[in-house]
């Protein structure tokens, strides 16, 4: 198996190194990752400046290429330039932090897997989440699960235009309560803008906010990880709200 490995936390992030070491048991792994952290880059691509790939060795001996662009750029360049178009699987992660619910649209981790799907390569995004109450990231169970899932995806290719988004609670193997195939849940934040004043008296802002505590929807990704289960969400590239086509057509626009 030829695997393209990327992330949005950057080429020096421990999550991608854990994944590299585990996936090597399945075949040839090519690491192409942003040369600096690009979390929340979404699906941005770089169109107006040159992109560079720099061969380097990270984490005491892992060969890879740092890319000056976004996670999505890493997939495009990795696939065409480094793997010369021959790729069986794109894996993005392991992200340090959840990619659940509506946060998928902000996520560079998920966007890289979406780019893989657009380029017709089976793709998964994988994240470790502290949602269940853990306070440190342990990437080992997630890396093992990614390898298991990679084999299954290779044996049973998913239809085109789809990918898998995986979230693994950061708890020990013995505490994990299995795997749940889920739907995308909801995440809402409040107090999203923190307005401050700089020493010269001018306002500045931090985006962020706190998660609104709601009882999560059973069957959702959020519910699964809060129940100490690994969440696997099949994701479709088609964002159409089919139930609204008739209603909006009924406005007889134009
Ligand atoms: Mn990230």
Summarize the confidence of residues 229-240 as an average pLDDT: 97
Alpha-carbon torsion angle 51, 57, 60, 62, nearest 10: 90
> What is the Å distance from ligand 1's center to 248 Cα?
36
DSSP structural state of residue 183: B
CA of 200 to the centre of ligand 1 (A): 33
Q: How far is the CA of 37 from the centre of ligand 1 (A)?
A: 7
Going from the Cα of 39 to the center of ligand 1, the distance in angstroms, rounded, reads 4
* Selection from 6-20, 184-198, 201-215 with the highest mean pLDDT: 6-20
Residue 132 has pLDDT above 70, yes or no: no
Tokens of residue 83, six digits? 């793997």
- 2-6 mean pLDDT: 98
95 alpha carbon to ligand 1 midpoint, in Å? 5
pLDDT in tens, 24-80: 999 999 999 999 999 999 999 999 999 999 999 999 899 999 999 999 999 999 999
Kindly state which CATH superfamily the domain 2-186+216-249 is placed in. Answer: Survival protein SurE-like phosphatase/nucleotidase (3.40.1210.10)
Collect residues with CB below 5 Å from ion ligand 1.
8-9, 39, 95
Q: Rounded distance, CA 254 to CA 248, Å? A: 12
Scan for tokens 């030829």, then name that residue: 2
Q: How many CB atoms lie under 10 A from the CB of residue 247?
A: 9
CA dist., res. 29 & res. 221, Å (int) = 28
DSSP code string of 15-79: HHHHHHHHHGGGSEEEEEEESS--TT-TT----SS---EEEEEETTTEEEEEESS-HHHHHHHII
pLDDT digits (tens, 9 = 90+) for 72-111: 999 999 999 999 999 999 999 999 999 999 999 999 999 9
Q: What is the mean pLDDT of residues 167-179?
A: 93
């Amino acid at each position: 198996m030829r695997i393209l490995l990327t992330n949005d936390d950057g080429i020096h992030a421990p999550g991608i190194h854990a994944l590299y070491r585990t996936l090597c048991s399945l075949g040839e792994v090519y690491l192409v990752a942003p040369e600096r952290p690009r979390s929340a880059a979404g699906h941005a691509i770089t169109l107006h400046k040159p992109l560079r790939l720099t061969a380097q060795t990270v984490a005491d001996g892992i060969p890879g290429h740092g890319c000056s662009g976004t996670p999505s750029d890493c997939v495009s360049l990795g696939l065409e330039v480094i793997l010369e178009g021959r790729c069986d699987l794109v894996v993005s992660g392991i992200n340090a932090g959840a990619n659940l619910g509506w946060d998928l649209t902000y996520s560079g981790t998920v966007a890289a897997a979406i780019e893989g799907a657009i380029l017709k390569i089976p793709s998964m995004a994988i994240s470790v989440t502290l949602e269940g109450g853990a306070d440190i990231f342990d990437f080992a169970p997630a890396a093992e699960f990614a390898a298991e899932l990679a084999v299954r995806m290779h044996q049973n290719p998913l239809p085109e235009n789809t990918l898998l988004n995986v979230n693994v609670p950061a708890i020990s193997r013995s505490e994990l309560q299995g795997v749940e195939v889920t739907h995308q849940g909801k995440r809402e934040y409040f107090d999203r803008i923190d307005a401050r004043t700089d020493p010269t008296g001018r306002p500045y802002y931090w985006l962020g906010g706190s998660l609104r505590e709601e009882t999560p929807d059973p069957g959702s990704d959020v519910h699964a990880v809060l129940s100490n289960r690994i969440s696997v969400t099949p994701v479709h590239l088609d964002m159409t709200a089919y139930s609204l086509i008739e209603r909006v057509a009924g406005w007889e626009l134009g």
